[in-house]
Structure 1
Amino acid sequence: MTQSDRYYSEKRDFIRMQVETVVSLTHGGQTCSGVCLDLSSTGMQVLADTSLQLGDKVQIHIPSSHSELQGLDATTEVVRVGTHEDGRQTLGLAILAMS
């Protein structure tokens, strides 16, 4: 299976929720903020002012706005990178582990 076949398969197999919420990304001891655009059970798409590369491992945190619910903390891997003219990146992040 090619990488593009895998992406197509993932789009069909997993429901992606459109969320548009704040997310913190930590890589190499540096933390920055971004916006989580969509979320599924296996990954997410994030827009952030970063310079990450394919294969980078990134800790993410999505805070909860409800006191009864915990936020989402996960270890992810960059599986797709798109760079915008303003320098921001759209990142495809595969969730490796939830903590």
Structure 2
Amino acid sequence: MSSVPTDYSEKRDFIRMRVDADISLIHQDQVIAAVCLDLSSSGMQVQAPQRFTVGDKLEVRIDSDHPALEGLEARTEVVWIATQPEGLQKLGLRILSMK
């Protein structure tokens, strides 16, 4: 990681893959339908219809349509939030662990 201070949105220590995939966020036993916009080995950018706060822990499930590939399940933490029109939020999620 670079020692030069930068805005969080400019940090790119890991290659990001654009995915635009439907996902499920699980927070306090509630399942919320959302969209994963991009994914890297350390985190993901998600668009969600519900309000979260920095520090919230979310379980993320991305199902696979391909029978030979398993879906992704991860425990994540909200590290940044950008409010979007119509009550949506873009979330930066750091992957804490994978199942």
TM-score by length of 1: 0.90
Task: After TM superposition, give the deviation of residue 10 of structure 1 in Å.
Answer: 3.6
SS in 2 for 1:5: coil
- Map of 1:69 onto structure 2: 69
- The aligned runs of 1:1-99 (5 Å cut-off) are 5=6, 7=8, 10-11=11-12, 13-99=13-99
CA distance in 2, matches of 1:80, 1:32: 18
| Residues 6-43 of structure 1: CA deviation (Å, up to 9, x unaligned) | 736741x2100011011100001111111100000000
TM-score by length of 2: 0.90
Q: Runs of 5+ in structure 1 lacking a partner?
A: none
Give the paired residue count: 97
CA distance in 2, matches of 1:32, 1:18: 21
More displaced, 80-89 or 54-63?
80-89
| Percent sequence identity over aligned pairs | 47
- Residues 70, 89 of structure 1: alpha-carbon distance in 2 compared, 3 angstrom cutoff: same
Runs of 4+ in 1 over 3 A off after TM superposition: none
Bigger helix share: 1
RMSD: 1.8
